Copies of this chain bind each other. A is one copy, B any other.
């Protein structure tokens, strides 16, 4: 029995609702997508509540579920995922935060929550902050894109249950407060980090230069989204497969790194509407040579939905279909391909929704149902029925003849 490989392709937010203006079709129903339909026709289909019926999935919790982790057990906040995405190893006991560089006046009133969307110099600013030691805790700090950054506190006795410093509007910055008695030390360290960041950043040459040019100085750091990592067994160990991912967007990269996948940078994979589909297809095929499980995320559908652009979303479907076609053309034998979404993002509401997502799984000598098209309605009539996100990984492993027997 040859052990089969698995390719999981997740189309971020591609699942939708019917649009009145487009003949009551969803973007998937309106698009020309021969590769997706072929996959559906040659495999089994179903719909999936990625978290649970009636729960609107975030992209982070959704991907954890699709990778087989119960998000209610492992997810505490977005900080660790962003930090992992930025390449900082978040370990058990660490507390991680998403941060903004921002501009405040001397009374700590926010003048610009994004420091004029600062682009240059954040690496130098981060360098001035990282490694700071407060009360036995070390602060690891790293810049992200534009005004974004991540902070990871490392040390004994930390707890993620603290409130945000970021007020999420243009008021005064907030003192972080412990939301549980055990989190007092963390809140104290965090507040001290923010206080010192103001002193250090205010005097930094990058900011003196910005002020000279009439730009708002990035003179403070605003942490939010505290989270820690519970016992997260690496995916490779858990499923006994060498795992790699192709993803453009930082959040998804972060989740992949968090679960221990190899996530090489792919030139042109931007996580936006301009992503290079051909590069993603080639990267996926390349990774399949040296890995057992390859994951591909395409973000563009979600972006088109958040813009409320039905026609753009149809074009995204057709681009992803082209990518899938390239992959299927050169796909080695013994690879099971699963095509699905992490959540629905209906163009009509421009937000994630709780509507279940379509799912097609094909290859490896598995069963074939009578479904002919890959879309939200056709999939629901397929042989997979209605499953949950955390069921997907066990089902794929089963089809790959890698599932464990219970009993004898």
Q: Which of A30-85 contact B (CB under 8 A)?
A: 47, 51-62, 71, 75, 78
Could you give, for residues 367-395 of chain A, a 1 whenever the CB lies within 8 Å of some chain B CB and a 0 otherwise? Answer: 11110000011001111111100010111
Q: Choose, from A106-114, A149-157, A176-184, A348-356, the stretch at the interface.
A: A348-356
* Contact among B1, B53, B405 with A58 in the assembled complex (CB-CB below 8 Å): B405
Q: Report the copy number of this chain in the oligomer.
A: 2
**Chain B residues, CB < 8 A from A169:** none
| Assembled-state Cα–Cα distance A214/B109 (Å) | 88
Q: Choose, from A117-125, A188-196, A396-404, the stretch at the interface.
A: A396-404
At the interface, yes or no: A200 with Cβ under 8 Å from chain B?
no
A56 touching B354 in the complex, CB below 8 Å, given contacts A17-B366, A370-B377: no
* Nearest chain B CB to A157 CB, angstrom units: 27
Once the chains bind, are B54 and A403 in contact (CB under 8 Å)? yes
A57 touching B386 in the complex, CB below 8 Å, given contacts A20-B365, A365-B348: no
4 nearest A-B residue pairs (beta carbon):
A54-B394, A58-B407, A354-B398, A61-B407
Binding site for B on A (CB under 8 A): 1, 17-18, 20, 24, 26, 47, 51-62, 71, 75, 78, 225, 346, 348-355, 365-370, 376-377, 380-387, 391, 393-399, 401, 403-408
Q: 29 A-B contacts, Cβ less than 8 Å apart?
A: A1-B350, A18-B367, A18-B368, A24-B368, A47-B385, A53-B395, A54-B394, A54-B395, A54-B398, A55-B394, A55-B398, A56-B406, A57-B406, A58-B405, A58-B408, A59-B407, A60-B407, A61-B407, A346-B365, A349-B401, A353-B401, A354-B397, A354-B403, A355-B398, A355-B399, A367-B376, A369-B377, A376-B383, A385-B385
